[in-house]
Amino acid sequence: MQVEPRERVLEATYACVARFGMGKTTVEDVVKESGVSRASIYRLFPGGKDQLLRETVGWEMNRFFARLAEAVYDAPDFASLLEEGLVFAHRAIQEHEVLRKVLETEPERFLPLITVEQHRVLDFISAFLLPYLEREQRAGRVRPGLDLEAAAQYVARLVLSLIGSPGRWDMDDPEQVRSLVREELLGGILV
């Protein structure tokens, strides 16, 4: 299977960050790792290293949430979908070695980038949630007069917040996750 040069470069940048960190990764490293020429890399990413790092963070966030979506897509109802999703995402974040490494060693370089990319993730999560909410509505399980789009955005935003920082919640305790989802997250949405 032919992998697009762009994808190969992002994958290679990710591998370099895993190995050297964000600060020490150079465009030369990415040339070596990807087998894509320096000239082509600059054609694809005119902003050089900064753009490579930013887009690699966005690329891995997309992959993370695609894996999450895949893990939960067949949940029987909306509340279970969120419960399974929070538990899965929490574990995946704990076990994400590259994330743990950059959070430990280069948070000041990494955190502004995920904040910039955050709105795309929010759009992705709310677009993913919307059909499940529509299904709940058809089954007569949502509050009458609910604005589904607004509900999807509210839930997406708070779910993203909970994935990064659960705060008081122990995401390894199913009872707590159940209470969080059915009260704070869905108290105003389901009937």
Partner 1 sequence: MVFPATTAEAPSLSPTIEDRAVRATLACVARHGLAKTTFDDVAREAGCARATLYRYFGGKGQLVRITLVREAARLAASVREAGDAESTFEDAVVAMVIRAARELREHEALQFLFAFEPELVLPHVTFDAGNRFLVGAGSAVAPALSRFLPAERADRAGEWLARVVLTHALSPTRPIDLTDEAETRALVHEFVLPGLLGPQSLPRG
Q: Does 175 bind partner 1 (CB under 8 A)?
A: no
Residue 60 CB-density burial (10 A; 0-12 exposed, 13-18 middle, 19+ buried): buried
Q: Does 166 bind partner 1 (CB under 8 A)?
A: yes
2 sits in the region (left: phi over 0; alpha: psi -120 to 50; else beta) called beta
Select 88 or 154, whichever has its Cβ closest to partner 1.
154
Q: Does 151 bind partner 1 (CB under 8 A)?
A: yes
The answer to whether 31 and 84 are in contact (CB under 8 A) is no
Q: Does 138 bind partner 1 (CB under 8 A)?
A: no
Closest CB 69 distance from partner 1, rounded Å: 20
* Measured distance CA(62)–CA(180) in Å, rounded: 25
Q: Does 185 bind partner 1 (CB under 8 A)?
A: yes
- Indicate which single residue of 18, 111, 127, 139 sits in contact with partner 1 (rule: CB under 8 A): 111
Q: Does 98 bind partner 1 (CB under 8 A)?
A: no
**Whose CA is closest to 171, among 94, 70, 67?**
94
Q: How many CB atoms lie within 10 A of CB 34?
A: 21
Q: Does 177 bind partner 1 (CB under 8 A)?
A: no
Who contacts 55 (Cβ-Cβ below 8 Å, separation ≥6)? 10, 45
Tell me, rounded to whole angstroms, the distance of Cα 39 from its chain centroid: 31
Q: Does 184 bind partner 1 (CB under 8 A)?
A: yes
Q: Does 116 bind partner 1 (CB under 8 A)?
A: yes
- Indicate which single residue of 47, 48, 107, 131 sits in contact with partner 1 (rule: CB under 8 A): 107
Q: Does 188 bind partner 1 (CB under 8 A)?
A: yes
Angle between helices 78-94 and 107-138 (to 10 degrees): 160
Select 8 or 90, whichever has its Cβ closest to partner 1.
90
Footprint of partner 1 on this chain (CB under 8 A)? 103, 107-109, 111-112, 115-116, 118-119, 122, 146-147, 150-151, 153-154, 157-158, 160-162, 164-168, 179, 182-189, 191
